[in-house]
Amino acid sequence: MSKRRVLAISSDLDQLRRIVATLERAGAEVDAVRNPEAIAGDVIPHRYVFYAAAGGDASALTPLVPKLRERAHVTIVTEKATLSDLTSYMGDERVNHVVVGDELDHGVYVTAQKLLTGDIFGIEKYLPEGTPVHYARLRDFEGRGKAIDTVLSFAEESKMRRQVRNAIGQVSEELLMNALYDAPVDASGKQVFADIDPHDRTDKPSPRPVSIRYAATPDMFAIAVRDRFGRLAKNTILSYIDKCIHSPNQIDRKTYGAGLGLYLVANAAASYIVNVAYGVATEVVCTFDRGAKAPLRLVGVFVHPGGAEMLKGPVAEKLEVADG
């Protein structure tokens, strides 16, 4: 099978060489330029573009965006970015990934591999090869509590600092509650729990199982929560986070609901990756540094390239086996 052609852009020659080497290691055939203007023609022909944004803010996209093809997939590489910067970068529907600072090599490698192969699910992609991954399956509020206790016990056994354990617990709770009670929809696409008071939801099981995977390495802790509906969209994530960032009032759980949860997750984790097969599954992967808390530095929203009918086949079967 021929390799996919990928475009790498960076005005920094050393950085450009690193990006090219990483993309080639991921299996791509790489074209490299120092700036978007170096591409002949009005439209960049490449579907996958890795763009090093000089200046550290979304205005760096200005020379690139007009030249992108309609279905391009852009990964931004930048030295630094606030949470507000990250949401600004991803405002264009073609920009779905941001890699910040020290994450450059691994972040670019994993992002490229997932884009090139279409194999987007799995916490293992963010872990060193051979890392043991633990697993729990649940359907209700009681199961959620037991799963969080198990994850936190493992985090303590793995000698994660109290501050890190607190972040792991908070993110696990938010992701599991979203998967259990915000993700489920009926055959017509209506949210199953939309008309049920949040306090009353805890007595009802989710119509499909939810899973959580977790692992520890010498450098980090990782969790992944998966639902079996596949309906979380990038614009939903960005709109909620942006609303929370710019809210003039104190953020209120009652007002923001699941949206506040997404904002809290983005503030607590070092990596925040969303994998979606529409109508089949959503998986959210988060990592936490073992050391001091660092700002979010790897963000991505991956959508399985197959259509809904295709997803009833191999992808759905693979996820079914993986979730027991």
**What is the b/e burial string over 24-33, where b = at least 16 CB atoms within 10 angstroms of the residue's CB?**
eebebebbbe
Q: What is the pLDDT of residues 144-162, one digit of tens each?
A: 999 999 999 999 999 999 9
3-state secondary structure at position 313:
coil
Task: Tell me how long the chain is.
Answer: 324
Q: What count of other Cβ atoms lies within 10 Å of the Cβ of residue 248?
A: 4
Q: What count of other Cβ atoms lies within 10 Å of the Cβ of residue 35?
A: 13
pLDDT at 321: 54
CATH 3.40.50.2300 domain locations along the chain: 5-117
5-117: CATH architecture: 3-Layer(aba) Sandwich (3.40)
Listing DSSP states for 161-221 in one string gives -HHHHHHHHHHHHHHHHIIIIIS-B-TTS-BTTTTS-HHHHTTS--SS-EEEEEEE-SSEE
Q: What count of other Cβ atoms lies within 10 Å of the Cβ of residue 144?
A: 24
pLDDT at 160: 96
3-state secondary structure at position 262:
helix
H or E element at residue 254 = helix 253-256
Question: In CATH, what class is 123-322?
Answer: alpha beta
- Going from the C-alpha of 142 to that of each of 171, 204, 208, 269, the distances in angstroms are 17, 10, 15, 25
Q: What is the pLDDT of residues 199-211, one digit of tens each?
A: 777 788 899 999 9
223 vs 49: CA distance, rounded Å: 28
- pLDDT by position in tens, the chain (length 324): 457 899 999 999 999 999 999 999 999 999 999 998 888 888 999 999 999 987 666 788 888 999 999 999 999 999 888 888 888 899 889 999 999 988 889 999 999 999 999 999 999 999 999 999 999 999 999 999 999 999 999 999 999 999 999 999 999 999 999 899 988 888 888 888 877 777 777 788 899 999 999 999 999 999 999 999 998 888 888 888 887 777 655 454 444 445 667 788 888 899 999 999 988 999 999 999 998 777 889 999 999 876 454 455 555 555 655 665
**Cα 215 → chain centroid:** 17
pTM of the model as a whole: 0.90
Q: At what angle do helices 234-245 and 258-268 cross, to 10 degrees?
A: 80
Are 137 and 210 in contact by the 8 Å Cβ rule? The answer is yes
**What is the b/e burial string over 41-69, where b = at least 16 CB atoms within 10 angstroms of the residue's CB?**
eeebebbbbbbbbeeebbebbeebeebbe
pLDDT at 1: 44
**Cα 280 → chain centroid:** 17
- Going from the C-alpha of 37 to that of each of 41, 77, 90, 235, 322, the distances in angstroms are 9, 18, 22, 29, 45
pLDDT at 116: 93
Phi, psi for 123 (deg, rounded to 5): -70, -25
pLDDT at 244: 77
pLDDT at 97: 95
Q: What count of other Cβ atoms lies within 10 Å of the Cβ of residue 79?
A: 15
pLDDT at 72: 93
CATH 3.30.565.10 domain locations along the chain: 123-322
Question: Which is it for strands 29-33 and 220-227: parallel, antiparallel or unpaired?
Answer: unpaired
pLDDT at 320: 59
Residue ranges of the alpha helices (H) in 90-123?
104-117
Quote the strand ranges of 63-138, DSSP E.
73-78, 95-100, 134-138
